[in-house]
Structures are given as C-alpha cells and as structure tokens.
Structure 1
Amino acid sequence: MSNTNKVLLVDGMALLFRAYFANSYGGYIRKTASGVPTNAVYGFMKYFLDAVDRFGPTHVVCCWDLGSKTFRTDKYDGYKANRPEAPADLIPQFSLIKEVVASFNVPNVGYEGFEADDCIGTLAGRFSQEMDVYVLTGDHDMLQLVSERVKVVIMKKGQSNYAVYDPELLLQEKQLTTAQFIDLKGLIGDTSDNYPGVKGIGEKTAIKLLAEYGSIDGILDNLSSLPKGVRSKIEADMEMLHLCRDLARIRCDAPVECNVHASVWDADRHSVIAKFEELEFKGLMKLIG
C-alpha cells in the first residue's frame, strides 16, 4: 500500500458523550418533529465530519463499548462503578448513532467483554503495519497507544481544536514514554475509572519515580533505595499496584473482525442524505458536499 493511506479510528462513546453534553446546555435537547432526541447524534456528526476533513483519512472505523461487563469488571468490582446512569434522552441515541455511522459505510466495531479502547488498540496494531493510524478520542488513557505510526488525537475544548500526540510530544508534554503511561496509572490509579493505585502516591512522585527507575518493575527492584515513606506506601499496596497496572493496560489482542477493505472511506452520499433528512439535520447537509 502507498504511504498516503491512513486510518481514522474513532472512539465512539467518547465522542457521543462529549457531543451530548455540549449540545444540551440550558436544558434544551434537540429533537425531531416526532420527538426523537438527536442532540448527541448531531454533535457527534459535527465532530466526526470535522475530523475527517482535518485529517483526510483513506479508511475510517468507529469503535464502541458493548455493555458495562468486561474482563476488567471481572478482575475488580469497583471498576467504573462510580459512573452515573446515562441520561434518559441519550439512551435511544446509542443505536441511532450506529445507524448514521453505517449510512457512511463506516464499520461499527465492538466486542462483548472488551472496551472500545481494546478494540482501538487491537486495530491500531493491525492497521499500523500497513498505514498511518489516527485515534480520535477525548480519553487520555489512549496515549499509551502512541507510536511512530500511531498518533492519538485528543479533542480539546472548542470546534476543530485537537492535540495530536506522537512519541516526541508525549515525552515533551508528559515526560513519559507510552509504556510509562501505563505504569503511571498503576501507581496513581484513575478516578474516572474508579481504581485507586497506591494510596498516598500522587502524580508528581510517580513521575519522579518513573523518571529515575524507568518502570514499576524498576521501582520494585530498587525498593530498598526509596525514601522510607514512599517504600512503605508501595509495600502496603503491592497487590493493588499490580492490579491497577493491569486494569490500565489497553489490550491489543481483542478478537475483533475488521479488515482494511471494509474500512475504506467511501461514503454513499445518497444514503447519508436520506439519513440526515430523516433526522432533520439540515444544518449538516452542507458539510457532506
């Protein structure tokens, strides 16, 4: 394949939730004449079309979480247990957005027991053997996927505002390599995913330890030379440290089926227009040319 090929892997839920909250201010929820809520789908499409326009992919795939039970919840009951229920008027939009994505001939990919992150990690590994990969998300956990051929595009506040991470930017901005990013989560946990890390170790200490010893394994090999307070915190929470590192690691071996040919960006304008008309998305028509 030529070097001009690039795939955009879209973190569906990250975009949909972001779009829902950006398009429900003041309590106003966009609905069709028949009362179907569409604010999240509308916002998702604006983000999606903007990213396609900006990054010019030749291939596009959209990845989704399927239910809340995964191998991570099997390992740790508390995993994501702090998440509130989805708002009532977002729930019908979960299936609706997949219909809209499918109208663009873009594959919707997910696998029971795995998160969208794992599907993205798996496909990023697979596709990067033959093309450049751009991962579109708002989730900083994805930064562990960054490599020479995989860029992670973090959506920031405001339209068309992206931070595009490659290994150099990651090191410059976070002082971490991709592998160290996983170990950081093992040490400090993740409040949004509700796992604790090592009690009493904050980000500053963790980054300092990783800079000095390279990894969690390096830190554990040098426990005796750590300050007493830090050492006793790690020793007291050793089991949790290993569990949290495991929870943080994106699996790149999910059994997802999606080949290169199925993901070619080749939207059928007629099916997209029909879907947009059905959902009364007049304002988006001009974005599809």
Structure 2
Amino acid sequence: MNQPPQPSLMLVDGMALLFRAYYATAASGYIRRTKAGLPTNAVYGFLRYLWDAIDQFQPTHVACCWDMPSKTFRSDQFAAYKGNRAEAPLDLVPQFSLVREVTECLGIPNLGVEGFEADDCIGTLACRFSQQMDVMVLSGDHDLLQLVSERTSVIIMKKGHGNYMKYTPETLYEEKGLTPRQIIDVKGLMGDTSDNYPGVRGIGEKTAVKLIQQYETIEGILNNMESLAKGVRTKIESDLDMLHLSRSLAEIHCEVPLECEIHLCALEINLDTVHAKLEELEMKSLSHLMGAAAVL
C-alpha cells in the first residue's frame, strides 16, 4: 500500500513569477492575447512556471503571496525605498488581477497584507508552518535566502525553463560561504540597487561577503574597526547610520498579522473549474498540466 506523501507547503512569490513570465515573452516582441485583445502572456507563463515547480517538488499544500499596491513600513523608514522602480508595462497591468483570479480557480489562496511586502508574508508563513511540515519558497529573489532553515528551503528559479537551485543551510553555505542570518548583514553593508537603498557607499558585494565571513556579523565588524584597512574603516564610519538602516530594510519581517489556515492551502484541483477558466482565457493547451497536477 502506497504511503501518503509527507505534508509540505510551497509558498510562491507571486510577483517574482509573474514579472519573470512577462519579460520572458515580451522580450521577443510577441504578447499573447485573447481574441478580445486581453493580454495574457504573463498569466500563461506564470502557470507554466508554477505547475513545473509543483510537478518537480510535489508539495501537498500551496499558497501564493503578493505585494500590495499600498506603501510598506519600509517606505516610512526610508522614503527612497524602491523609489527607482519604473511603472509596470501597460500590457502587464490588467494581468495583476487576472492572475489572482486564475490562482483562486486552482484553489490556491492569494495572500497579502497592506503595509507589508510579499517577502514578509512568506517569511511569516514559513516560520509559522515549518513547525509542523517542510516548507519550500519558490522565487527568483535571493533576498529570501535569509529564510533558509532546517525545515525551510528556498527554491531559486534560474535561467531556462525548469531550472532551479534549491537552497538548504548546507547548500547555501557551500555556495556562498554564509549562513542565512549573514545574508541580512551582507545586504546591510552592500545595499541593494534594486530596492534602492545604498548600504555603505563604496563597499560592494565582494568586500561585504569577505567582511562578514571574517567577523561573522556587523557587530563583529564594528567591534574590530581598528583591524580593518583604513579605507574600509573610513567608509563604514562615514555611513554608520545608513549601515544600520540598510540592514533593517534588508531583514524580512516574520510577524505579519496574516490569517491563513493550513487546510485551505491543500492542493486540491477542481478540473472542471480550471478547464472552464483556461477555456475562457484561450489557454486550453495548459489543460494537460492542470490534469497532471490534480493527481499528484
């Protein structure tokens, strides 16, 4: 008699998948649309990415976390946070609500809390549910590597369809020479151009990693300033406040007031509902993927 699979939860970084799916197809100049002209390329790609990961990693439960349109607490801490982000392409905008309709049809909860980012929701759920089951985080965002633990792995989507790197504490240390907590301190030192906070000006990733590997934490660096090269010491002393602020911005908040019952995340596909939605969006070619997922 076959044993039922061990319960596991996949937390999906919705925006990471959606943007990746949009740009993967838009780069060719072709935007998939319905006969009525509704753009669907990002939703189509999102579904392909999602079900490929489900097929490969076989979670029993899935939830999708989303950034909300409101500003977050990080913007209150640092007004320029993510201030360099361009407006979303016009063809992508209607797909923000459309993709949530589709995930809802699949029985996958859409989760998000105003004032917080999807990363914070993912961190909160990972901390909560890793007490009872293995958790997998699906994203392309390396910031989430700070969530890696004995019960939480982070699956980073690499270039090429179906290509992943699954990070555990062992593989993270093997590849980067860092622990999950040290990811935060490295970001505090080097900043993040994507999120638009500077860290310590003049210190890049290579120096940041080297310093944290040597002194373990930012506090360890600050307690040994006299042993640093003069140039590095001067940079840190000149940007001390921004160093602490950048580390605060980099840290994922794992206590979001987010309601989510684990039984609502169970992956149970209603094929009739799914096929009807795919037919409406003129994506019948994806029906076989949904059918495969339904019998996992």
TM > 0.5: yes
SS at match of 1:23: helix
Q: 2:60 & 2:162 partners in 1: Cα distance? A: 19
The alignment's TM-score, normalised by the length of structure 2, stands at: 0.95
Which of 176, 182, 189 matches 1:187?
189
- What whole-Å deviation, never above 9, does each CA across 1:57-76 have from its counterpart, x for those lacking one? 11000000001510011111
Q: For residue 3 of structure 1, report the CA deviation from its aligned partner.
A: 7.8
Q: 1:181 & 1:277 partners in 2: Cα distance? A: 44
The alignment's TM-score, normalised by the length of structure 1, stands at: 0.98
Q: Equivalent residue for 1:250?
A: 252
**Structure 1 stretch 23-32 or stretch 161-170: which is displaced more?**
23-32
SS at match of 1:112: coil
Contact 2:70 2:114 survives alignment (8 Å): no
Contact 1:5 1:132 survives alignment (8 Å): yes
Q: 2:64 & 2:52 partners in 1: Cα distance? A: 15
Q: For residue 226 of structure 1, report the CA deviation from its aligned partner.
A: 1.4
- What whole-Å deviation, never above 9, does each CA across 1:99-134 have from its counterpart, x for those lacking one? 000001110000000000000000000110000000
Contact 2:199 2:242 survives alignment (8 Å): yes
Q: Matches of residues 1-289 of structure 1 in structure 2 within 5 Å?
A: 4-289=6-291
- What whole-Å deviation, never above 9, does each CA across 1:85-109 have from its counterpart, x for those lacking one? 0000100000000000000111000
- What whole-Å deviation, never above 9, does each CA across 1:128-160 have from its counterpart, x for those lacking one? 000000000000000000001100000011111
SS at match of 1:32: coil
Q: For residue 25 of structure 1, report the CA deviation from its aligned partner.
A: 3.1
Q: For residue 187 of structure 1, report the CA deviation from its aligned partner.
A: 0.2
- What whole-Å deviation, never above 9, does each CA across 1:209-235 have from its counterpart, x for those lacking one? 111111001111111221211111101
Show structure 1 runs of 4+ deviating over 4 A: none
Q: Which runs of 5+ in 1 are unaligned?
A: none
Q: Report the count of equivalent residues.
A: 288
Q: For residue 207 of structure 1, report the CA deviation from its aligned partner.
A: 1.4
Identity of aligned residues (%): 62
Which one-letter code corresponds to 2:108 in the other structure? V
Contact 2:275 2:284 survives alignment (8 Å): no
Contact 2:5 2:60 survives alignment (8 Å): no
SS at match of 2:28: helix
